[in-house]
Amino acid sequence: MEAKLGEFDLIWRFFKAGSESMAQNQTDQVLLGIGDDCALLQPDPAQSLAVTSDMLVEGRHFFANANPEWLGHKALAVNLSDLAAMGARPVGFTLALALPHADSSWLTQFSQGLFRLAQQWQCPLIGGDTTQGPLTICITALGHVPTGAAIKRSGAKVGDDIWVSGRLGDARLALGALRSEWLLDHSSLEAVLPRMHEPEPRITLGMQLRGIASSALDVSDGLLGDLRHILKASQVNAEVLIDQLPISRMLAEQTEHLRRQCAANGGDDYELCFTAPSSKRMELEALSTALLPLTRIGSITSPTNGAEPTLILRDANGNLLTAADSMLLTQSFDHFKSN
Amino acid sequence: MEAKLGEFDLIWRFFKAGSESMAQNQTDQVLLGIGDDCALLQPDPAQSLAVTSDMLVEGRHFFANANPEWLGHKALAVNLSDLAAMGARPVGFTLALALPHADSSWLTQFSQGLFRLAQQWQCPLIGGDTTQGPLTICITALGHVPTGAAIKRSGAKVGDDIWVSGRLGDARLALGALRSEWLLDHSSLEAVLPRMHEPEPRITLGMQLRGIASSALDVSDGLLGDLRHILKASQVNAEVLIDQLPISRMLAEQTEHLRRQCAANGGDDYELCFTAPSSKRMELEALSTALLPLTRIGSITSPTNGAEPTLILRDANGNLLTAADSMLLTQSFDHFKSN
């Protein structure tokens, strides 16, 4: 209850300075940044505004001793990933931060991670709040997407292909190793750790998918659970070829069970999962070569009348998974989810 | 670290339902509300977008056993108050909420307070996040203000009057009584408690002040400290008539010291403090009669060359306060500030 008055004002000035160092690169959409009651953005009549908020809490979304630079990166990245999933371009973000005490070394590192990613996407900090409290980071990100071009979860059509970007499961493979759920050799761990700590929001891909993808979302809680959101919003079923999920060499070296679990259910991937008509395959294969790997992992099928959307899993040979295997994969095994 | 997976999904559905019950009243600015990766807002080329975020933390901004209905109201009110201070009309808000556990009675009451205020201002919940963690509420509010009409802190001019809306100090009077800093009779406490628990954002006033006020902010940390933000942003000095600060009958009954402290430094008032040219007095007096009391409390004076902005305090007779009295009032006495 005891306040350290000047201290948290100082923290805020610290972020203001970081934000101003980006000012010369700020887009002309920001009329007024930090320092007034509100930030002001310039409207663009051709664009819709995409808005997303995520809160990260110590002990739930990150370890208590988490590297502050990674944390600054990740707190913004998970929000930019939501913008990417709509096909939106980042415009700016607000930061609300509760900190147990003002630790200048922590703040310096946190803001380095935060502003490096913000700079990369020309997405300035435009406002927010700092306060004393248990370490909690809440970011609201704003983006622009041409009116009518936003990629929603509700647009998947029967016959569409299901695609996923990049590789799945490495973040979960890293987390499990850190938590001694399984063993991982040192070089493999080093290779997968960045996927857990510094996910790359797929913003360029999201923008390229406008007019191509019929639906999209970002994979934050695990592919199969997240894909279900598309099925529900679009009222369709799906078949997924579980052994075609794209995975890294490190994950490919694990047992079939772990491989499938991490890839299908891992969480924290921040890849895009999207659907597109089969007529778009050539365009997507070209994009896969030019930008980042895109893999076709299944297809959208007809809904069952009156029933909940169903997700059917097939193995490498196209055979249905046994009920037990399927059950395992459709139940989450993750205690570290971001909901 | 242990997650209760379904539970926090359920909470989110709870808020989604509350939001949908407002849907028929939603303005056509909301293209897409809760349920996708982002919300989508319709741009209005004639309006700038005002954005503000505030985080409330248990033990710092509210007591651990705070009435959840009041809390829901207040968490949104402090954000709408920031919109009001810019002259903006609310358009929508996101909510990120960390809760130690899912308590349906708490949630019902919290959302009643939240949605009642949201409904009053036609400001729908458009997105957000729920997670397990120490009780923390982060709201980002979005508003529209005609382009060029936003009331900034930086517009105060030498010779402008300084005005404040409503009555100051009651929230602090209530807080001090609850914390046994002073005694307050039961009926007075009952009368001032709503000012602490359920502040009314001055949105209508803020919109009316477009084209009249030269600068404005909302009084959240105490009048004198907040007024300094205007002086700094506008690079001017000010004189305030400390005994002309508008106060309630309950506060008027207290000692001169307490009266002045609560009114000048109390915090949590959520009134608007603004400046306006003297040519606007008749308009403002008419507004004061029609809407809510507006009181002229001082004037903007010339800046001292090269020096920090200065705030001079005068008593009821127009005499300068003694250095000691002035010092007392220009230092905060409040341990419960929202910074």
CB A273 within 8 A of CB A162: yes
For A44, which residue in chain B has the nearest alpha carbon?
B45
User: Are residues A159 and A184 both part of a single domain?
Assistant: yes
Closest to B71 (Cα-Cα) out of B52, B84, B58, B53: B58
| Mean pLDDT confidence for A49-68 | 92
Q: Which of A106, A128, A146 is the last residue of a domain?
A: A146
Cβ-based neighbours of B308, under 8 Å, separated by 6 or more: B232
Which of B45, B96, B335 faces A54 most closely, judged by CB atoms?
B96
CB spacing of A49 vs B43 below 8 angstroms? yes
Whole-angstrom distance, CA of residue B298 vs CA of residue B270: 19
pLDDT score for B51:
97
Q: Residue B87 is part of which domain span? A: 7-146
Q: Does residue B268 sit at the A interface (CB-CB below 8 Å)? A: no
CB pairs under 8 A between A and B: 247
The reply to whether residue B142 touches residue A51, judged by beta carbons under 8 angstroms, is: yes
Claim to verify: residue A123 and residue A216 sit in the same structural domain: no
Residues B226 and B297 in one domain: yes
Report chain A residues whose CB lies below 8 A from the CB of B38. 50-52, 82-83, 85-86, 88, 143, 150
Is residue A301 domain-resident? yes
Q: Are residues A85 and A43 in the same domain?
A: yes
* Whether pLDDT at A1 is above 60: no
Identity of the residue in B2, B43, B126 whose CB atom sits nearest the CB atom of A335: B2
Task: Tell me, yes or no, whether B337 lies in a domain.
Answer: no
Instruction: Tell me the shortest Cα–Cα distance from B167 to chain A, in angstroms.
Output: 20
Cβ distance of A50 and B38 shorter than 8 Å: yes
Residue of A nearest to B145 (CA): A40
B39-41: strand order across its sheet: A125-132, A89-99, A136-146, A47-57, B39-41, B30-32
Residues A169 and A140 in one domain: no
At A315-336, the pLDDT tens digits run: 988 899 877 777 777 665 443 3
Residues A200 and A86 in one domain: no
Chain A residues whose beta carbon lies within 8 Å of the beta carbon of residue B3: 60, 334-337, 339
Q: Do B130 and B228 fall within a single domain?
A: no
Is the residue at A338 inside a domain? no
A12, A38, A221: best to mutate for the B interface, most B CBs within 10 A: A38
Instruction: Say if A3 is an interface residue toward chain B (CB within 8 Å).
Output: yes
Are B161 and B200 in a shared domain?
Answer: yes
Among the listed residues A193, A172, A159, the one whose alpha carbon sits nearest the alpha carbon of residue A278: A159
Give the three-class secondary structure for B37. coil
Nearest Cα of chain A lies from the Cα of B318 at a distance, in angstroms, of: 31
- Asked if residue B228 lies in contact with residue B156, where contact means CB atoms within 8 angstroms, the answer is no
Residue A138 and residue A264 in one domain: no
Does residue A205 share a domain with residue A183?
yes
Out of B146, B161, B193, pick the residue that ends a domain: B146
Q: Find tokens 């070829």 and name the residue.
A: A241
Confidence of residue A207 (pLDDT cuts 50, 70, 90): very high
Contact B57 A147 (CB under 8 A): no
Under the banding of pLDDT at 50, 70 and 90, the label for residue A23 is low
* Non-local CB neighbours of B271 within 8 Å, separated by 6+ positions: B164, B165, B166, B167, B168, B202, B218, B219
Residue A19 has pLDDT above 90, yes or no: no
pLDDT at A6: 62
ipTM rounded to 2 decimals:
0.91
Per-residue pLDDT averaged across A217-242, rounded? 95
Instruction: Between B22 and A60, name the one with better pLDDT.
Output: A60
- Same domain as A168, residue A119: no
d(CA A172, CA A243) in angstroms, rounded, equals 17
Q: How far is A273 from chain B (nearest CA, A)?
A: 12
Please write the tens of the pLDDT for every residue from A285-321.
999 999 999 999 999 999 988 888 999 999 988 899 8
Q: Tell me, what's the pLDDT at A26?
A: 54
Question: Which residues of chain B does A330 touch, with a Cβ-Cβ cutoff of 8 Å?
Answer: none
Q: Is A224 on the interface with B (CB under 8 A)?
A: no
CB contact under 8 A, A40 and B55: no
Residues 6+ away with beta carbon under 8 Å from A120: none
- Decide if B53 touches A, using CB distance below 8 A: yes
Residues of chain A contacting B336 with CB distance shorter than 8 Å: 1, 3
Query: What's the pTM?
Result: 0.92
pLDDT of A224 strictly over 90: yes
Question: CB of A132 within 8 Å of any CB in chain B?
Answer: yes
What is the enclosing helix (H) or strand (E) of A138? strand A136-146
**Among candidate residues A205, A229, A207, A208, the one with its CA nearest the CA of residue A217:** A229
For the domain that residue B13 is a member of, what is the CATH number?
3.30.1330.10
A chain contacts of residue B339, beta-carbon cutoff 8 Å: 3, 5, 8-9, 12, 130-131
Handedness of CA B19, B21, B27, B31 (dihedral sign): positive
Structure tokens at B128: 């957000």
- Residue A339 binned pLDDT confidence (cut-offs 50, 70, 90): very low
Rounded to whole angstroms, the Cα distance separating A98 from A101 reads: 9
User: Given CA atoms B53, B59, B63, B65 in this order, what sign does their dihedral have?
Assistant: positive
3-state percent helix, strand, coil for chain A, nearest multiple of 5: 40, 25, 35
Instruction: Tell me what the pLDDT averaged over chain A comes to.
Output: 90
Whole-number pLDDT of residue B7: 63
pLDDT of residue B330: 65
Q: What is the pLDDT of residue B252?
A: 96
Model confidence at B338, pLDDT cuts 50, 70, 90, reads: very low
Range name among A57-66, A114-123, B11-20, B79-88 with the lowest pLDDT average: B11-20
pLDDT of the residue at A7: 63
- Is any Cβ of chain A less than 8 angstroms from the Cβ of B207? no
CA B12 to chain centre: 26
**Do A93 and A26 touch, CB atoms closer than 8 A?**
no
- On whether any CB of chain B is under 8 Å from the CB of A33, the answer is no
pLDDT tens string B204-226: 999 999 999 999 999 999 999 99
Of residues B5 and A85, more confidence is placed in: A85
Task: Tell me which of A146, A171, A201 is where a domain ends.
Answer: A146
* Structural domain includes residue B338: no
- In this predicted structure, what is the pLDDT of residue B3? 36
B23, HSE (Cβ side, Cα atoms, 13 Å): 11
Looking at residue B23, what DSSP letter applies?
G
Instruction: Pick the more confident residue, B101 or B120.
Output: B120
Q: Is there a contact between A39 and B55 if contact means CB atoms under 8 Å apart?
A: no
pLDDT value of residue A154? 96
Mean pLDDT, to the nearest integer, of B93-105?
91
pLDDT tens per residue, range B154-179: 999 999 999 999 999 999 999 999 99
What digits encode the pLDDT tens for the residues A172-201? 999 999 999 999 999 999 999 999 999 999
Strands B294-301 and B237-241: antiparallel
**Is the Cβ pair B53, A96 closer than 8 Å?**
yes
Q: What is the mean pLDDT of residues A8-16?
A: 74
- Which phi-psi region, left, alpha or beta, contains residue A37 (left: φ > 0; alpha: ψ -120 to 50)? alpha
Q: Is residue A231 part of a domain?
A: yes
Tell whether B335 is covered by a domain.
no
Q: Is the domain of A169 the same as that of A312? A: yes
Provide, rounded to the nearest whole percent, the portion of chain A with pLDDT above 90.
Answer: 74
Q: Residue A41 domain-assigned?
A: yes
Which CATH number is B226's domain given?
3.90.650.10
Number of domains composing chain A = 2
Q: To probe the interface with A, which of B13, B37, B135, B335 has the most A CB atoms within 10 Å?
A: B37
Q: Does A339 fall in a domain?
A: no
Cβ partners under 8 Å of residue B229, min gap 6: B153, B217
**Which range (A280-284, B21-25, B93-97, B260-264) has the least confidence?**
B21-25
Is A60 touching B (CB cutoff 8 A)? yes
Provide the 10 A C-beta neighbour count for residue B290.
8
